[in-house]
A and B are shown apart, each in its own frame.
Chain A
Amino acid sequence: MGCAELNWNTLDQKDPFPCISVEVMNSSDVIERWRALGLHCPEPCAVMALIDTGASTTVISKTFANYCKLFQTGEGSVFTTLAGLAVCGEHAGAISFPGTSLRPINSLRIVSADFKWERYYSCLIGRDVFTELAHDLRRAAKADIN
């Protein structure tokens, strides 16, 4: 089970946190097949991500999804935000948390959307990631009980 420590000043409205550095890339299955075909695969790139308990799924900016060449597996998903409805693409990606002991997630549906105003982050970590990491917690608890 992993751990990440995040500090932020809740009284400072300019403090954009809670953010965490993440690396987003294609899942290892996709990368292996690309390499077998001799196709170029971009190196993982670290970006800041907002820990967003209000997001049901993980979202990255479309620009970043294109940069990472994330393998697309869908389109047209509808999201509702404070600004209204947004239509997004869906990608198969992997996500890791450099500088923490959190387990990387190798295969995750990630949606891409236009990030118009955000200056500090290009990814929202949604509840799907928390659910995935919570499985580790449950497994560890079960192992302790047994």
Chain B
Amino acid sequence: MAASLFSDELKVFQENRDKWLRVNPGKFVVIQDSVVAEGFFDTYSEALKAGLQAFGVQRNFLVKQVWTTEPVYYLS
């Protein structure tokens, strides 16, 4: 089976989630490989800008909101 596109980044997120949750719940983080971009961001848009600044566009990076459990979105 093909590896997940963001498996490394999601691992870093899982490892740090509790720590980040205590200080920055609901904020966005940006991760590429095992590197976390500096700062926590209020909006997806701000996080994207920071990610582009830190990592550029040649490879994807993960933008993820810090929540205890993953939200489930609803479609009608």
Q: Interface of A with B (CB < 8 Å)?
A: 27, 29-30, 33-34, 37, 39, 52-57, 59, 71-82, 85-86, 90, 92, 107-109, 111, 124, 126
Decide if B48 is an interface residue (CB 8 Å cutoff). yes
A107 near B45 with CB under 8 A, answer yes
With a cutoff of 8 Å between Cβ atoms, the chain B residues found around residue A52 in the complex are 75-76
> Residues of B within 8 Å of A, CB-based: how many?
25
A92 near B4 with CB under 8 A, answer no
Decide if B66 is an interface residue (CB 8 Å cutoff). no
**Inter-chain CB contacts under 8 Å: number:** 83
Q: A33-B56, A92-B63, A107-B45 are in contact. Are A74 and B6 (CB under 8 A)?
A: yes
With a cutoff of 8 Å between Cβ atoms, the chain B residues found around residue A59 in the complex are 75
Q: A34-B57, A74-B63, A92-B48 are in contact. Are A54 and B75 (CB under 8 A)?
A: yes
A75 near B75 with CB under 8 A, answer no
Nearest residue (CB) in B for A92 is B48
A74 near B49 with CB under 8 A, answer no
In the complex, the 10 A-B pairs of residues with the closest C-beta atoms, listed nearest first: A54-B76, A107-B45, A73-B63, A33-B57, A81-B75, A109-B44, A79-B73, A55-B75, A56-B73, A92-B48
B75 near A74 with CB under 8 A, answer no
Min distance, Cβ B52 to any Cβ of chain A, angstroms: 5
CA distance A34 to B60 in the complex (A): 13
CA distance A13 to B10 in the complex (A): 43
